Structure 1
Amino acid sequence: MPRRTATMLASTLMLIALLCAGVFINVPYSELSPGPTVNTLGDHGGEPVLQISGHKTYATSGHLNMTTVRVTSADYKMNLVEAVYGWLSHDNKVVPHDTLYPDGKTEEQSTQENAEEFSQSQESAKVAALDKLGVPVQSWVIVATVVKGSPSEGVLHAGDVIKAVDGTPVKVTTDVAKLVTKHKAGEKVVFTIVPAAEQAAAEKANRAATKSRDITITTTKSNDEDAQRAIVGISAGTDHTFPFTIDIKLADVGGPSAGLMFALGIYDKLTPGSLTGGKFVAGTGTIDDDGVVGPIGGIEMKTVGARDKGAQYFLTPADNCAAAASDTPDGLTLVKVSTIGDALSALKDIRSGDTADLPKCSTK
């Protein structure tokens, strides 16, 4: 056999061997890719994404699309060939598995966490939109979660309203930790609560909850670096009563990053005229009750997904601007926002066509 032919054959066999090996060699990485985008002003799965009853609504036009990122599952075993392909792909991103699933987090745990964050983002979106419209919303601090095996297990329950700690009224979630950590581990702390069942019954009857009770809990040491910090084993959250019904119907989506776009969609439906002026606007960002927009993950995937869907403008959290601007998809204008007020101001310029002074993202 001629030497040249033998060399080419050997090289081909070596390449095949390497490819085969790459298929069977698993690597500790996961992949992110552009996920679906959904118009919060439109329908999804055959029904409106935003359903409002008990208050006048107005016709809308254009798009206010929330965006998503598709990620490989926690138990997915990526092989070397897939990792290399992902690294070379412009629209996908390969990251260490532990970045998405830290501390051995399972798929079920991740799904549950994302569902909780998604639910909270919906609540905050409603509050932020109504606050911007001057519509009052009643809020109170609740027990959000109870840690298994903690002093609070079986004593406090998710949904219990925390009225006071040691007789001091609780107004915001951070009050709870401040009051508990005034104690040393092993000391007793008194929670004044309205049980979740009583609160639910009061809301259903459209009355104020009146049945409260005091519960004494013995604190314990935290497991973090500050080992002397007193805890009771709960996380505090916020619940709200809205003056009318706002339902967000969107299955198979998790995480908090759609908050801004939900808030804008709600605002648009509750005000005359069109926020977008018929333009295709997409975006992302968490939102809190005060309308502050926070950063999200996977911004590069979301801008690509929005561009592919037809978006002209992308509302971008200020803290994500530099990363997004480093690789902006062609034809997409990245608009920097820090609050829902910023977003509404930008939308005013977009619908009027006066976009020269839009606060655009830059890499600096």
Structure 2
Amino acid sequence: MPRRTATMLASTLMLIALLCAGVLIKVPYSEMSPGPTVNTLGDHGGEPVLQVSGHKTYPTTGHLNMTTVRVTSADFNMNVVQAVYGWLAHDNIVVPHDTLYPDGKTEEQSSQENAEEFSQSQESAKVAALKELNIPVQTRVVVSTVSKAKPAEGRLHAGDVIKAVDGTAVKQPDDVAKLVTKHKAGEPVVFTVVPAKEAAAAEKAGKEPVGTERVSVTTEAADPKKGDHHAIVGIKAGPDHTFPFTIDIKLADVGGPSAGLMFALGLVDKLTPQNLTGGKFVAGTGTITEQGEVGPIGGIGMKTIGARERGAEYFLTPADNCATAAKDIPGGLTLVKVKNIDDAVKSLKDISHGKTSDLPKCTVK
């Protein structure tokens, strides 16, 4: 066999061996890519995303799209070839597996956590939107969850309204933990609550819940094996709201808290005669608090790509994500920096009136 032919054959066999090894060798990475975007002003799955009854709504035009990121499943085993392709590709990103699924979190656990965060983001968006419009919202502190095999199990229940702890009035969810941890493990703590059933009946009737009960729960150490001896009872307190009219957000198969800002803006647009977008295509992302503060999210680069592919011209970007997003801006997309819902509403008004030179744009630090 001629030397040149033998060399080519050996090189080919080596290349095949390397490709096989690349396919067989697994690496601890996952992949993120642009996901679907949904117009919060429009329909999804045959029904409006934002549904309001009991209050006047107004016609809207344009787009206020929330954006998503696709991620590989928790049990996806990436090989070397896939990792290299992902690193070289522009429209996706390879990240350590633990970034998406920390502490060995399963697919089911991650989905459950994302669903809870998505539900909470909807509530926060409703409150933020109504506060922006100066529409009163009644808020109270409730028992969100009760841990199994903890002192509060069977004594307190999810949905109980917490009025006071040891006689001290409770105004914020954080107040509950602060008052409980004043005790030493083994000491009793007294909760003044409105039982969940009575609270639900009062809310349905449009009344403030009354008829309190005093419930004593003996505390225990949080985790004595790890040296954590602060007192707990095994509940998580959270906010519950009574809205003056009905607001439903109909969007399935989406998780996480990052759509909060766009839901809130969609509601503001629907509940006011002004046309926030002026018919423009605006997309965005960001968590939102009940006070209207906008927080950062993950996968910002994937979201800007997905938004531009759908036709977005402007992208509302959390201030803390701006520097990262500005490093690789898709052509034709303007990144607008927002810190809170006031910023976002003002920028939308500027966009609708063509005052784009006044927009606070994202830049690389």
Instruction: Give the structure 2 partner of residue 140 of structure 1.
Output: 140
2:203 aligned with 1:215, yes or no? no
Question: 1:59·1:273 contact (CA, 8 Å) conserved in 2?
Answer: no
Deviations 1:294-353 (A, max 9, x none): 111111110010011110000000111111011111111110001000000111110110
Instruction: Give the structure 1 partner of residue 109 of structure 2.
Output: 109
Instruction: Give the structure 2 partner of residue 227 of structure 1.
Output: 228
2: CA distance, partners of 1:334 / 1:59: 26
- Partner SS state of residue 183, structure 1: coil
Matches of residues 285-304 of structure 1 in structure 2 within 5 Å? 285-304=286-305
2: CA distance, partners of 1:190 / 1:133: 38
- One-letter code of the match for 2:51? Q
TM-score (norm 2): 0.97
2: CA distance, partners of 1:72 / 1:18: 25
- One-letter code of the match for 1:235? K
1: CA distance, partners of 2:253 / 2:333: 27
Instruction: Give the structure 1 partner of residue 309 of structure 2.
Output: 308
Q: Please provide the CA RMSD for this pair.
A: 1.2
1: CA distance, partners of 2:317 / 2:87: 25
Instruction: Give the structure 2 partner of residue 96 of structure 1.
Output: 96
- One-letter code of the match for 2:266? G
2:36 aligned with 1:33, yes or no? no
* Aligned-pair CA distance for 1:148: 2.2
* Aligned-pair CA distance for 1:289: 0.6
2: CA distance, partners of 1:158 / 1:321: 39
Instruction: Give the structure 2 partner of residue 325 of structure 1.
Output: 326
- One-letter code of the match for 1:341? D
Instruction: Give the structure 1 partner of residue 273 of structure 2.
Output: 272
Instruction: Give the structure 2 partner of residue 55 of structure 1.
Output: 55
Instruction: Give the structure 1 partner of residue 342 of structure 2.
Output: 341
2: CA distance, partners of 1:75 / 1:158: 33
Instruction: Give the structure 1 partner of residue 364 of structure 2.
Output: 363
2:260 aligned with 1:259, yes or no? yes
* Aligned-pair CA distance for 1:83: 1.2
2: CA distance, partners of 1:255 / 1:40: 16
1: CA distance, partners of 2:232 / 2:98: 28
Matches of residues 107-256 of structure 1 in structure 2 within 5 Å? 107-223=107-223, 227-256=228-257
* Aligned-pair CA distance for 1:273: 2.8
> CA 1:163–1:358 in structure 2 vs 1: closer, same or farther (change >3 Å)?
same
2: CA distance, partners of 1:148 / 1:112: 17
* Aligned-pair CA distance for 1:15: 1.2
> CA 1:226–1:257 in structure 2 vs 1: closer, same or farther (change >3 Å)?
farther
2: CA distance, partners of 1:355 / 1:90: 28
- One-letter code of the match for 2:30? S
Q: Which runs of 5+ in 1 are unaligned?
A: none
Deviations 1:189-245 (A, max 9, x none): 111111222111111122222122111111122239771321112221111011111
Question: 1:138·1:241 contact (CA, 8 Å) conserved in 2?
Answer: yes
TM-score (norm 1): 0.98
Deviations 1:251-310 (A, max 9, x none): 000000000000000000001131000000000000011000011111111001001111
1: CA distance, partners of 2:303 / 2:174: 32
1: CA distance, partners of 2:272 / 2:253: 29
* Aligned-pair CA distance for 1:11: 1.2
Instruction: Give the structure 2 partner of residue 42 of structure 1.
Output: 42
2:81 aligned with 1:81, yes or no? yes
2: CA distance, partners of 1:147 / 1:282: 39
Question: 1:192·1:212 contact (CA, 8 Å) conserved in 2?
Answer: yes
2: CA distance, partners of 1:27 / 1:268: 46
